[in-house]
Amino acid sequence: MSDYFSTAIEKGALLLDASNYEHATFKMGHHFRGVLAECSEGQLELGYDEPAGSYALRSKIAEWESGIGQTRIAPQDIAIFCGGVTAAIDAVFRIIKELSADNSGEMIVPVPCYPGILRAARANGVRATTIETEFARGFQPTAEQISRALTNTTRGVFLTSPGNPVTTTIELEELIKIIALCKQHNLILVLDAIFEDAISARPTDQLFGHSDYARLIKLKGPSKDRPHLHDLRIGWAVTKDEGLAERLRQISEVTGFSVSLIANEMLYKEFDLRHAHFLGGAASAPLKIYGSEVQEYFGIITAGKRLVMEMLAVHPAVSQFFCPDFGNLVAIKVEKDVTSKKNIFNDDDLFNFLLAKSSVAISPGSVFGFKSEELWFRVTISKRPEEFCLHLKRALDQLLAA
């Protein structure tokens, strides 16, 4: 993905899959501005926190995860990582490698998926056994598919729900079957749930409370939830398996070391307000401001999705698309009958065509594990909705131009 971004930036293109929010549209939260003001006025201590995350930060996260779930999460169940969820993903694959003394360890990974998952597997010398998922199921796997992919060297299963680049969730009934399958074979089940809180309604934990099986790991971070939280680059892993939790914290102390005290303070305030807003808390002026900011943010995202879906539903160049409730991602597939007339036969061709003709950059679907010839791509609503939709339509119109 970085190669495509580098090419686009070098050519001065507009990034339609930009992770960074446009600041003029998505304002920084009042509580974050307060922390930065305290810092600039010398009221906030600068420095770094304890390796693997302080007990105070892990307590805040544990309180939130317990509140949205069906089982108690304790601070010792959590490891904090600098570098966001990507660092936590890397830690998981380090553990899978360690469990494979004969270097034959495998991890089952449904695709499409976040590219960092497969990169982490390669970097740690773990074989990623990919299984292709289907449009009809929202590109989420079934227990039957996973069962067929099992071998005697399989050490774990890596799920993403809500997904990426398609932010659909795995059905609870299917997830329970997959947990039972992992328990039967003593496999680690990892769930990348970074988009779990990226919804306007009260979030719900997907993983814990459905089984007594301990070898479950949930990975999360704040980077997809609200504007500017992505700048903190913090992720965490949650597991009730004592051995896994201890090893994750050990790895965190080496690869991430510690979190900035400024980031800590921002997360303390975020979790206090988030807990009060979604799970119930005493009324206060900061909570009222937070509630209005959350409503404004999701109002912009919802408006953007509505505009995009109305446009995509009737555009002749579009074959299929996904724009689910979670997050701000849109996955789009273009018509092969249209693209073939422009000598576009794979998503690399598509990227270069749109870059040359409309000076916009998209993320090709093959980056996430789609077959290149299927012509999927991903974009992200991180700009003013009207502007985002206008540029996306202009790019798609180039596929129809004489």
- Write down the CATH superfamily of domain 2-27+289-398: Aspartate Aminotransferase, domain 1 (3.90.1150.10)
Task: Return the pLDDT at 103.
Answer: 66
pLDDT band at residue 1 under the 50/70/90 scheme: low
Residue with the two structure tokens 């000598």? 343
Q: What share of the chain is helix, strand, coil (3-state, %, to 5)?
A: 50, 15, 35
Cβ neighbors of 96 (< 8 A, separation 6 or more) are 105, 107, 124, 126, 155, 156, 188
Question: 338 near 360, Cβ under 8 Å?
Answer: no
- Each residue of 193-234: pLDDT tens digit? 999 999 988 999 999 988 889 999 999 998 888 777 777 789
pLDDT digit string (tens) for 299-339?
999 999 999 999 999 999 999 999 988 999 999 999 999 99
The reported pTM is 0.95
Cβ atoms of 328 and 304 within 8 Å: the answer is yes
pLDDT (tens digit per residue) in 87-102: 999 999 999 999 886 7
Q: For residues 326 and 339, what is the distance between their CA atoms, to the nearest angstrom?
A: 30
CATH 3.90.1150.10 placement within the chain: 2-27+289-398
Residue (of 236, 249, 214, 275) closest to 68 by Cα position: 275
Look at residue 44 in the predicted model and tell me its pLDDT: 86
More confident residue, 369 or 324: 369
Cite the residue boundaries of each domain of the chain with CATH code 3.40.640.10.
48-259
Specify the CATH number of the domain 48-259: 3.40.640.10
Q: Assess whether pLDDT exceeds 70 at residue 7.
A: yes
CA–CA separation, 155 and 135 (whole Å): 27
User: Please, which residues bridge with residue 329 across strands?
Assistant: 380
